[in-house]
């Protein structure tokens, strides 16, 4: 799996969340938040960007996003605002939900990657044949100081120059966020900075993982969540996604205790909702196939469901109507503890958008954020006692964490009901797999269940994970062996 | 026979979240010639993070405590010793 290498930008973000959460726990956030940029990038330390002042400006914007605000909404005079004033605004926001996209771009951090995707390197010999110049359809290559030069304003990134160079001296240089986006929802504005187009974005979080400058942030809900778990009068439920196994190098039982230590009153395994979703989805599949439908696709991945709504609307009738495991688990928790704040804890950013539209979930938290909160609270997960969740799942639902888990569950359940179905897994969304999905009913055999995962490898490779997906997968397999 | 290097990876929550998760790949990332000289222990918190200005994640290689550890840094250290 290509993604999720160690990445300094994400480590710096986790450190900042630790500092933020510490202030929430001591009740000093409003008084001290304006010091955090100084604490994170202290005087005389080495700057990551051009200088410490730029680093601090970026940190300031990260804190604004951590408070849940969209950076795009900043007005010119807001640059002079204190972070404390943003805390006050967040306070007044109450339990109200945030409107708009789950992702936000920090212009100040965006490096405005070059527009033209092709660059001439020093390997250029300035040859006589000059095939790059001769074959450029836009006539945008000239020679300066004996080397080719591409006029970025004219270049259309067709790549012919790179193909014809006998020295391979012209290289393709992607814009990482644009390359990662499966639906062309992130584009450069006139200043070269990236904008997210809300009507196209599916909140998959791939741009956030891809940007080497950490310029894309999720609009976090940790402020609301920390406020709730530190308030003894407010009941809270942590709904933990199946992929949490393996995120903290320890057992599920210890993690359940650790969540309770943080202040969550109840802990529910979302995998229980996955058990239920598998049953409902199987019944739905059988019914649809009996009515002559060729295939049906899963509906548990919110980025995929959003992609269907915004980009491949023609296959909407093929998508299962079964709710996601998160929503079933949230519905159960709502009946069990009316009025409690239900917090989905998972690897996913698209879930935040799904939760906003659902009556069954109030907030979402990523594993990364949870990890930072554990550090701030001084909770060491591995040293906690084992305890049991209020609602537990079977191995069927727990397997939803990795790609193939959903389709295996449905196939087995259908077979137990006397129906033979074929399964197909679309493992990761990109422009190619979206093209396949667009014509999926013409591609697959009849009686097929199609599982679609936006993240390659499944939820264990989501944008909010801590563990390397291979490690998390190993953990899950070990757990399933011990608790079949 | 005792191995040349005893490597203790701290898997306390602080280390694990702040970069240590990737050290779980150490065993499979070791070059073939180093593999049989190394014993890897996945440990609970070794309390190295409790000092002022501590820089997790930590790895203990014999007597040497490495801060801000990464797979690449560990391999480099083993090569030099």
Mean pLDDT of chain A: 93
- What pLDDT sits at residue A177? 93
Q: Are A216 and A228 contained in the same domain?
A: no
Q: Are A216 and A160 contained in the same domain?
A: no
The answer to whether residue B68 is domain-embedded is no
- The answer to whether residues B71 and B25 touch, using CB atoms and an 8 Å cutoff, is yes
Is pLDDT of A356 > 70? yes
Is pLDDT of A449 > 70? yes
Q: Are A228 and A215 contained in the same domain?
A: no
Handedness of CA A356, A361, A362, A364 (dihedral sign): negative
**Of the partner residues B14, B16, B70, the one whose CB lies closest to the CB of residue A249:** B16
CB contact under 8 A, B25 and A470: yes
Helix pair angle (A252-262, A367-377), 10° resolution? 60
Handedness of CA A276, A282, A288, A294 (dihedral sign): positive
- What pLDDT sits at residue B44? 93
> How big is the A-B interface in CB pairs under 8 Å?
58
Nearest C-alpha of chain A: how many angstroms from B58?
15
The answer to whether residue A340 is domain-embedded is yes
Q: Are A128 and A160 contained in the same domain?
A: yes
- What pLDDT sits at residue A257? 98
C-alpha gyration radius of chain A: 24
The answer to whether residue B57 is domain-embedded is no
Q: Are A70 and A128 contained in the same domain?
A: no
Q: What is the mean pLDDT of residues A445-451?
A: 95
Is pLDDT of A95 > 70? no
CB contact under 8 A, A375 and B18: yes
The answer to whether residue B78 is domain-embedded is no
Q: Which residue matches tokens 């058990």?
A: A275
Nearest C-alpha of chain A: how many angstroms from B43?
9
Contacts of B21 in chain A (CB under 8 A): 249, 466-468, 471
**Of the partner residues A249, A258, A372, the one whose CB lies closest to the CB of residue B11:** A249
Q: DSSP labels for A235-257?
A: -EEEEE-GGGTTSSSS-HHHHHH
- What pLDDT sits at residue A122? 94
* Closest residue on chain A to B20 (Cα): A467
Is pLDDT of A4 > 60? no
- Residue B16 lies in domain: 1-46
Q: Which H or E element spans position A118?
A: strand A118-120
Tokens representing A425 are 């897994």
The answer to whether residue B59 is domain-embedded is no
Phi, psi values for residue A168, rounded to 5°? 50, 40
| Nearest C-alpha neighbor of A66 from the set A5, A14, A122, A129 | A14
The answer to whether residue B81 is domain-embedded is no
Q: Does A468 touch chain B (CB under 8 A)?
A: yes
Domains of chain B: total: 1
Is pLDDT of A3 > 50? no
The answer to whether residue B33 is domain-embedded is yes
Domains of chain A: total: 3
Convert the pLDDT of each residue in A259-296 to its tens digit.
999 999 999 999 999 999 999 999 999 999 999 999 99
Q: Which of A172, A192, A211 is the last residue of a domain?
A: A172
Contacts of A470 in chain B (CB under 8 A): 25
Handedness of CA A144, A147, A152, A155 (dihedral sign): positive
* Closest residue on chain A to B17 (Cα): A371
| Nearest C-alpha neighbor of A279 from the set A397, A128, A160, A161 | A397
Handedness of CA A418, A420, A426, A427 (dihedral sign): positive
Q: Are A188 and A158 contained in the same domain?
A: no
Beta strands (DSSP E) in A158-305 are 170-172, 186-188, 194-196, 216-218, 236-240, 266-269, 295-297
Q: Which H or E element spans position A326?
A: helix A325-336
Q: Are A352 and A455 contained in the same domain?
A: yes
* Closest residue on chain B to A372 (Cα): B17
- ipTM for this model: 0.93
- Residue A126 lies in domain: 118-172
Q: Which residue matches tokens 């490096």?
A: A111
Contacts of B25 in chain A (CB under 8 A): 468, 470-471
The answer to whether residue A178 is domain-embedded is no
Is pLDDT of A312 > 70? yes
Least confident of A70-79, A86-95, A367-376, A388-397: A86-95
- What pLDDT sits at residue A48? 87
Nearest C-alpha of chain A: how many angstroms from B20?
9
- What pLDDT sits at residue A229? 96
Q: What is the mean pLDDT of residues A358-373?
A: 97
Q: Which of residues 337-396 of A touch B (CB under 8 A)?
A: 368, 371-372, 374-375, 379-383
The answer to whether residue A3 is domain-embedded is no
Q: Are A400 and A441 contained in the same domain?
A: yes
CB contact under 8 A, B18 and A379: no
Q: Which of A194, A220, A246 is the last residue of a domain?
A: A220
Distance CA B21, CA A242 (A): 18
Query: pLDDT band for position A100 (50/70/90)?
Result: confident
Least confident of A191-200, A296-305, A310-319, A402-411: A191-200
Is pLDDT of A203 > 70? yes
Residue A125 belongs to domain with CATH number: 3.30.70.20
CB contact under 8 A, B12 and A372: no
**Of the partner residues B12, B18, B45, the one whose CB lies closest to the CB of residue A14:** B18
Q: Are A102 and A125 contained in the same domain?
A: no
The answer to whether residue B18 is domain-embedded is yes
Alpha helices in A183-269 (DSSP H): 206-210, 222-229, 252-262
Contacts of B22 in chain A (CB under 8 A): 5-6, 468
The answer to whether residue A143 is domain-embedded is yes
The answer to whether residue B19 is domain-embedded is yes
CB contact under 8 A, B16 and A248: yes
Contacts of A15 in chain B (CB under 8 A): 18
User: Phi-psi bin for A192: left (phi > 0), alpha (psi -120 to 50), beta?
Assistant: left
Q: Are A366 and A285 contained in the same domain?
A: yes
Higher pLDDT, A352 or A94: A352
- The answer to whether residues A269 and A305 touch, using CB atoms and an 8 Å cutoff, is no
Residues of chain B whose pLDDT is less than 50?
none
Phi, psi values for residue A403, rounded to 5°? -65, 140
- How large is the greatest C-alpha to C-alpha distance in chain B, in angstroms? 38
Tokens representing A349 are 């950013």
Convert the pLDDT of each residue in A379-409 to its tens digit.
999 999 999 999 999 999 999 999 999 999 9
Least confident of A193-197, A223-227, A382-386, B60-64: A193-197
- The answer to whether residues A410 and A285 touch, using CB atoms and an 8 Å cutoff, is yes
How far is the CA of A242 from the CAs of A163, A284, A470, in angstroms?
46, 23, 15
- What pLDDT sits at residue A261? 97
Q: Are A280 and A210 contained in the same domain?
A: no
Q: Are A256 and A388 contained in the same domain?
A: yes
Nearest C-alpha of chain A: how many angstroms from B54?
12
- What pLDDT sits at residue B3? 83
Q: Does A14 touch chain B (CB under 8 A)?
A: yes
């Amino acid at each position: 799996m290509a993604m999720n290498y160690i990445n300094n930008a994400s480590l710096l973000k986790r450190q900042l969340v630790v500092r933020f959460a510490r202030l929430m726990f001591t009740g000093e956030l409003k008084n001290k938040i304006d010091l955090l940029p100084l604490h994170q990038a202290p005087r005389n330390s080495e700057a990551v960007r051009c200088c410490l002042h730029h680093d601090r400006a970026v940190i300031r914007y990260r804190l604004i996003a951590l408070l849940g605000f969209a950076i795009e909404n900043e007005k010119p005079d807001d640059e002079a605002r204190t972070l404390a004033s943003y805390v006050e605004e967040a306070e007044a926001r109450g339990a109200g939900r945030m409107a708009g996209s789950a992702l936000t771009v920090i212009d100040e951090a965006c490096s405005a990657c070059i527009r033209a995707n092709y660059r001439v390197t020093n390997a250029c010999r300035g040859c006589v044949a000059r095939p790059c110049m001769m074959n450029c359809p836009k006539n945008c290559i000239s020679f300066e100081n004996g080397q080719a030069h591409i006029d970025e304003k004219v270049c259309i990134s067709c790549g012919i120059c790179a193909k014809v160079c006998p020295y391979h001296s012209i290289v393709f240089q992607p814009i990482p966020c644009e390359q990662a986006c499966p639906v062309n929802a992130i584009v450069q504005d006139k200043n070269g900075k990236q904008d997210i187009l809300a009507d196209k974005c599916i909140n998959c979080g791939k741009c956030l993982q891809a940007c080497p400058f950490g310029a894309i942030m999720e609009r976090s809900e940790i402020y609301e969540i920390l406020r709730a778990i530190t308030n003894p009068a407010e009941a809270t439920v942590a709904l933990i996604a199946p992929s949490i196994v393996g995120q903290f190098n320890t057992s599920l039982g210890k993690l359940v205790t650790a969540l309770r230590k943080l202040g969550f009153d109840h802990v529910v395994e979302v995998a229980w909702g996955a058990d239920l979703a598998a049953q409902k989805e199987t019944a739905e599949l059988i019914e649809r196939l009996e009515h002559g439908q060729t295939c049906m696709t899963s509906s548990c991945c919110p980025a995929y469901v959003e992609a269907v709504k915004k980009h491949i609307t023609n296959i909407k009738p093929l998508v299962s109507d079964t709710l996601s495991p998160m929503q079933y688990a949230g519905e159960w928790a709502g009946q069990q503890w009316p009025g409690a704040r239900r917090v989905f804890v998972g690897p996913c950013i698209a879930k935040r958008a799904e939760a906003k539209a659902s009556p069954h979930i109030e907030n979402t938290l990523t594993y990364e954020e949870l990890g930072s909160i554990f550090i701030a609270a001084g909770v060491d997960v591995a040293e906690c006692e084992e305890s049991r969740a209020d609602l537990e799942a079977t191995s069927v639902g727990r397997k939803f964490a990795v790609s193939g888990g959903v389709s295996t569950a449905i196939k087995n359940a259908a077979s137990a009901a006397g129906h033979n179905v074929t399964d197909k897994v679309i493992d990761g969304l990109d422009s190619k797999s979206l093209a396949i999905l667009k014509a999926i009913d013409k591609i697959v055999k009849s009686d097929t269940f199609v599982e679609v995962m936006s993240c390659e490898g499944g939820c264990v490779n989501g944008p909010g994970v801590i563990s390397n997906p291979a490690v998390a997968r190993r953990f899950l397999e070990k757990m399933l062996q011990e608790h079949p | 026979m005792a191995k040349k290097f005893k490597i203790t990876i701290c898997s306390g929550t602080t280390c694990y979240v702040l970069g240590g998760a990737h050290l779980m790949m150490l065993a499979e990332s070791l070059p073939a010639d180093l593999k049989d000289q190394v014993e890897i222990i996945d440990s609970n918190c070794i309390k190295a993070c409790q000092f002022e200005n501590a820089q997790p994640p930590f790895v203990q290689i014999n007597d040497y405590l490495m801060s801000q550890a990464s797979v690449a840094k560990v391999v480099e250290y083993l090569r030099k010793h």
